[in-house]
Structure 1
Amino acid sequence: MATFHGHFSSVSLGGMQTSLQVILPEHHLSTPNRTLYLLHGLNDNETIWTRRTAVERYADTYGFSIIMPFVDTSYYTDMAYGKNYWTYLSEELPKAVSSYFGLNPDPASTYVAGHSMGGYGSFKLALNHPEHFAAAASFSGALDVSSLLEYTPEDKKDQRRRSLNIIFGENSDLDSFGGDLFTLVNQHQKAKRPLPNLYQFCGTEDYLYNMNTKFRDHLTTHNIPAYYEESKADHTWDYWDYCIETFMRKISEAEKGLD
């Protein structure tokens, strides 16, 4: 197992030094290599998955190289008043990891997953660039950003409203930059466009549970197949540790024809 944590200057982020955590399994040179972009949540950073889960062990077990970028609190968006994290994630980062680590850019072996804000980022990447990914997973994802205020405690709504204005702008049109997942689903269904395999996990005790069932039902209504799993769990790392291992195992089994 090899792990790397480093910094490099990002053109998309205006020359800012940004950080990156990478896991390379020991046997990645001798087996078909899979690349997984693993995204963090709102109050986390690029190190959170290695600190709170056994993802290093899972990477070695199932043969995944894992790329964990830092995107601050951007909701994986080119912020109205901030950095262009969407451009960084979707355009610059794949070229950087290919150059630095020689990872296979083949869409058939490239995946994306994340928790909470990262679940939104995962599906946003997959639905805006379906040609780049074999599968995407959301764990307790904040999948309906247009209704985030509805899921915010009353005493924190003003702070959340200011944060969302910084990210998306006042009275922003999410559809104008591919930010609304529900609209993207509608567009793909209408165009009969092939999509990556979608995996959605959420705990029934999670405060985002209703948001997740709403998105699950939206996929079903538009005849877009997806794997959906719920458990008696909250918005916790114990659950996300289970989710990431389950997702990686299912990908491995599917490629072997066992799923």
Structure 2
Amino acid sequence: MALLQINFKSEIIQMEHTLNVILPQIGLYEGEKQKQIRERGFPVLYLLHGLSDDHSVWLRHTSIERYALEYGIAVVMPNAGRSFYADMKYGPNYYTYISYEVPHIVRTMLPISSAREDNFIAGLSMGGYGAFMIALRNPEQYEAAASLSGTLDLTPGFSFPEEGYQKMAKQIFGSKLEYIKSDYNLIRLVKIKSMSGEKLPRLYMCCGTGDFVYGVNLRFRAAAMKYGLDLTYEEGPGAHEWSYWDSNLKRILTWMLGKEPQKSLELKVF
């Protein structure tokens, strides 16, 4: 595997930005595989960070590079600050950046597939919300999306006792009413998309029963079931913590790609 850091000037954000990318390598003598990749590109997972994280955090707290090797998939990890992946009311347009500019950058620079069936998106906490929101708003782009302990209903954020959270919610979405009536409201979005006739991505969500976002995950699950979305839901012991998210990453990749990982090569020590 290759680990790449791409520094570039974002046309959308209007400043320098950084992407971390895990990219499978093809051997010198794997001629047929080289041909296949030239024609199609690697399948890709866009992996989104949480509220207090950045584009480096998946590499530092999980075994995502090893998992990507086992599944033969590229992983793109962008940075979206504390934006909830929205085009902010008072701030940068991170929704447009993540949805359109980041895929454009990696597809023009690297052998990344643009085919819907090869494109996946996932995230934790704020990133779980972002993955579902982006995938449902752009169903033609993504085969599947996954949320780990996602903050899937943001309505309570406008009334949190902590003043900082209320201020952040208003900076991102405007008023509570503006959020509720917008496509950033996942519950509303699920209802609208279920009646659109579009082919929607498969969805996977998991959450620990000891997590503070467990309740909002149950609310989203109820809405998804009510409106007939293709949702796989799993829960179990766990909190809002890296040990839970790392242990579920391989399950998500197996579900997304519909295959078990390749047998890992043994590391021999002499």
1:89 matched residue in structure 2 = 98
Deviations 1:135-181 (A, max 9, x none): 0000000001122356x5x4xx2111111111112345136652011
Q: 1:197 to 1:248 in 2, by over 3 A?
A: same
Q: Does 1:142 align with 2:147?
A: no
Q: 1:52 aligns with which of 33, 46, 61?
A: 61
Q: Confirm or deny: 8 A CA contact 2:158 2:169 kept in the other structure.
A: no
1:202 matched residue in structure 2 = 207
Instruction: Write the letter of the residue equivalent to 2:190.
Output: V
Report 1:60-139 matches (<5 A).
60-139=69-148
* Alpha-carbon separation, structure 1, partners of 2:11 and 2:144: 28
Q: Confirm or deny: 8 A CA contact 1:27 1:63 kept in the other structure.
A: no
Instruction: Write the letter of the residue equivalent to 1:6.
Output: I
Q: Does 1:19 align with 2:24?
A: no
Secondary structure of 1:130's match? coil
Quote how far apart the aligned CAs of 1:27 are. 4.2
* Alpha-carbon separation, structure 2, partners of 1:252 and 1:79: 32
Q: Does 1:7 align with 2:16?
A: no
* Alpha-carbon separation, structure 1, partners of 2:230 and 2:116: 19
Q: Confirm or deny: 8 A CA contact 2:51 2:82 kept in the other structure.
A: yes
Report 1:102-251 matches (<5 A).
102-149=111-158, 152=160, 154=161, 157-171=162-176, 173-174=178-179, 177-251=182-256
Secondary structure of 2:229's match? coil
Instruction: Write the letter of the residue equivalent to 1:55.
Output: I
Q: 1:125 to 1:107 in 2, by over 3 A?
A: same
Instruction: Write the letter of the residue equivalent to 1:19.
Output: T
* Alpha-carbon separation, structure 2, partners of 1:94 and 1:60: 21
Instruction: Write the letter of the residue equivalent to 1:22.
Output: V
Secondary structure of 1:173's match? helix
Q: 1:42 aligns with which of 33, 51, 60?
A: 51
- Structure whose alpha-carbon radius of gyration is higher: 2
Instruction: Write the letter of the residue equivalent to 1:228.
Output: Y
* Alpha-carbon separation, structure 2, partners of 1:168 and 1:214: 21
* Alpha-carbon separation, structure 2, partners of 1:234 and 1:171: 28
Percent of residue pairs bearing the same amino acid type: 36
* Alpha-carbon separation, structure 2, partners of 1:69 and 1:123: 16
Q: 1:109 to 1:91 in 2, by over 3 A?
A: same
Quote how far apart the aligned CAs of 1:190 are. 1.8
Gaps of 5+ in 2: 262-270
Deviations 1:109-133 (A, max 9, x none): 1000000000000001111001100
Instruction: Write the letter of the residue equivalent to 1:226.
Output: L
Quote how far apart the aligned CAs of 1:194 are. 1.9
Q: 1:209 to 1:2 in 2, by over 3 A?
A: same
Give TM-score scaled by structure 1 length: 0.91
Give TM-score scaled by structure 2 length: 0.88
Gaps of 5+ in 1: none
* Alpha-carbon separation, structure 2, partners of 1:243 and 1:214: 21
* Alpha-carbon separation, structure 2, partners of 1:251 and 1:74: 26
Secondary structure of 1:102's match? coil
Quote how far apart the aligned CAs of 1:213 are. 0.7
